[in-house]
């Protein structure tokens, strides 16, 4: 029997070599989804924003910083100016989300839009609490294109009050940020 971080037992054996490889950021089975109990890496910036790296939960020590062997360091030095915005918007269904995502990218209002299905939203509307299945858009755009993107999104969205929330990243890979800027310039 194997156990997860909370000590809960699983009814299958874990391939220790594959588990160690995943813990160091290498997935020997890239097309195999993570299994229950696999470490879940997340990308976090170091305190001085000089490097990003995956972190995985250790068994006893809490969070431990690990880097895949041979991993390239991202260029996120303090001199890199981040002018990107990441916006979130919920949609009632996958068809609406796909249509909105495609329109924003086609019109160069966003460089990339992730469509994330399978979310449940709990919210208060007109004095009542609702729980609905929704699809989340994660929209990456340039800061100077945000207002135009938001206006277009609100104009096309079927909700009376669409959720459009934006955050400003504090760091990012310079090549990605340059690509994002290029892809959001009018043709």
Q: For residue range 135-144, what is the model confidence (pLDDT) as tens digits?
A: 999 999 999 9
Both 61 and 89 in one domain: the answer is: no
User: Could you tell me if residue 79 is inside a domain?
Assistant: no
Residue 120 lies in a domain: yes
Q: What is the mean pLDDT of residues 114-132?
A: 96
Shared domain for 49 and 120, answered yes or no, is: no
Task: List the CATH number of the domain containing 170.
Answer: 3.30.70.120
The domain boundary residue, chosen from 33, 65, 97 = 65
pLDDT for the residue numbered 36: 53
What total of structural domains would you count in the chain? 2
The pLDDT, as a whole number, for residue 13 is 43
| Structural domain range at position 156 | 84-183
Task: Say if 78 falls within a structural domain.
Answer: no
Asked whether residue 126 falls in the same domain as residue 171, the answer is yes
Residues 174 and 137 occupy one common structural domain: yes
If asked whether residues 170 and 115 sit together in one domain, one would say yes
- Give the tens place of pLDDT for each residue, 142-174: 999 999 999 999 999 999 999 999 999 988 888
Digit-coded pLDDT (tens) for 17-72 = 544 544 454 444 444 554 555 444 433 333 333 333 444 444 444 444 444 444 44
Closest CA to 41 of 32, 54, 59, 29: 54
Burial 46-84 (b: 16+ CB within 10 A, else e): eeeeebbbbbbeeeeeeeeebeeeeeeebbbeeeeebeb
Residue 71: inside a domain: no
Tell me: do 168 and 113 sit in the same domain: yes
Residues 60 and 90 in one domain: no
Same domain, 100 and 178: yes
Do 88 and 175 have their domain in common?
A: yes
Task: Classify residue 140 as left (phi > 0), alpha (psi -120 to 50) or beta.
Answer: beta
95 and 6 in a common domain: no
């Amino acid at each position: 029997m194997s156990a997860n971080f909370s000590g809960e037992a699983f009814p299958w054996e874990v391939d220790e070599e594959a588990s160690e490889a995943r813990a160091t950021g290498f997935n020997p089975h890239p097309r195999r989804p993570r299994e229950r109990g696999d470490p879940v890496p997340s990308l976090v910036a170091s305190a001085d924003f000089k490097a990003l790296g995956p972190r995985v939960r250790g068994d006893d020590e809490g969070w431990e910083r690990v880097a895949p062997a041979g991993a390239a360091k991202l260029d996120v030095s303090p001199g890199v100016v981040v002018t990107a915005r990441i916006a979130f918007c919920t949609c009632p269904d996958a068809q609406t989300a796909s249509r909105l995502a495609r329109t924003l990218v086609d019109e160069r209002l966003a460089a990339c839009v992730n469509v994330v299905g399978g979310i449940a939203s709990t919210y208060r509307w007109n004095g009542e609490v609702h729980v609905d299945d929704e699809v989340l858009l994660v929209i990456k755009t340039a800061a100077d294109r945000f207002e135009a993107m938001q206006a277009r999104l609100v104009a096309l969205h079927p909700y009376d009050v669409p959720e459009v929330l934006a955050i400003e990243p504090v760091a990012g890979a310079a090549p990605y940020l340059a690509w994002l800027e290029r892809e959001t310039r009018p043709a």
